[in-house]
Amino acid sequence: MHTVKLACERLDDVGRSLSHRDCAEPARQLIADQVVETISPQTVQRTLASHHLKPWRKHLWLSSKVPRDAEFCRRVKNICTLYTRKLKPHERVLCVDEKTSLQPRTRKSPTLAARPSLPVRVEHEYERKGALHLFAAFDTRTGHVYAHTAERKRQKELIEFLEQLDREIPEDITRIHLVMDNLRMHTGQQVQAWLEKHPRFKFHHPPVHCSWMNQVEQWFSILQRKRLAIADFADKAELAERLHAFVKEWSEHAHPFEWTEKSATRITARYEAHTALAA
């Protein structure tokens, strides 16, 4: 049990200099504390495995500052309904967000194509040439993507993107639902003033720390894997051109993401169960 106790200690709490430990360090500690005369890291590993412990691993989690209350559930259900209900002919639902600080990272030697027994080879060193921000809107029913690139990310650039959406979406679509996070830029005075002049647009904000509910994030992950995994562009202009080329090619065979109420129902069920117990 001494081994398990060591594995479950927060090292900073006991004055150790390590952030986390492997199996060799507890073995040395057990010997130094005279718990055993000798023990191998392999024995420590087997002992920890029998207790399902892996103290050398870490997992990020987020303690929400926003309570899981009735307002939280209302927002979750609202977004889920937008994704799953049958839309009227005059409606669209778009998920909007920004992928920020995209760098050209021009390589100092040319990137080499794959060869038999060799992968694509990318020069490790690169030149910094600034960064771009990609504004994107994902149509939840068709998968079509609207995109806009800018060198800054402010209300001004967001409004430019909204103006683009206003131009490109047919006038007979009189209600455009935009799912956006709670970023201050999305709720600023300039943006609110723009909304008042464009009543067919309506913003829907998921609860804080619920970025998983914004479907454009799924599309961003595809963009990252298929276009940005290798960053080697001559400059910001080429990066912007390649981003728009990717969006165009995507839209030629676009598809929506399958969405069900399962995830949202599981989350709201926890709140409802907690509420019932509190009552």
Neighbour-count burial for 171-205, b at 16+ CB within 10 Å, e otherwise: eeeeebbbbbbeeebbebeebeebbeeeebbeebb
DSSP reduced 3-state for 100: strand
> What pLDDT does 245 receive?
97
- Cα(69)–Cα(55) distance, rounded to whole angstroms? 34
Q: How many CA atoms lie within 13 A of 249 on its CB side?
A: 10
> What pLDDT does 259 receive?
84
Please state the rounded mean pLDDT for residues 212-218.
93
Please state the rounded mean pLDDT for residues 181-210.
92
> What pLDDT does 73 receive?
82
Is pLDDT of 66 > 60? no
- Cα(146)–Cα(251) distance, rounded to whole angstroms? 9
Which CATH superfamily includes the segment(s) 70-263?
Answer: Ribonuclease H-like superfamily/Ribonuclease H (3.30.420.10)
pTM reported for the whole predicted model: 0.80
Nearest CA to 135 out of 121, 146, 119, 122 is that of 146
Is pLDDT of 223 > 90? yes
Contact present, 96 and 226 (Cβ < 8 Å): no
Contact present, 186 and 205 (Cβ < 8 Å): yes
Is pLDDT of 270 > 80? no
Chain region(s) in the chain for CATH 3.30.420.10: 70-263
Share of the chain above pLDDT 90, in %: 59
Is pLDDT of 265 > 80? no
> What pLDDT does 263 receive?
66
Is pLDDT of 211 > 90? no
Q: Pick the more confident residue, 260 or 240.
A: 240
DSSP class of residue 272? H
> What pLDDT does 131 receive?
96
Please state the rounded mean pLDDT for residues 24-51.
85
Helix (H) / strand (E) element for 94: namely strand 91-102
State the average pLDDT for the chain.
Answer: 88
Is pLDDT of 18 > 70? no
> What pLDDT does 275 receive?
60
Q: Pick the more confident residue, 233 or 211.
A: 233
Is pLDDT of 160 > 90? yes
Residue 273 confidence class, pLDDT cut points 50, 70, 90: low
Q: Pick the more confident residue, 220 or 263.
A: 220
Cβ-based neighbours of 51, under 8 Å, separated by 6 or more:
4, 7
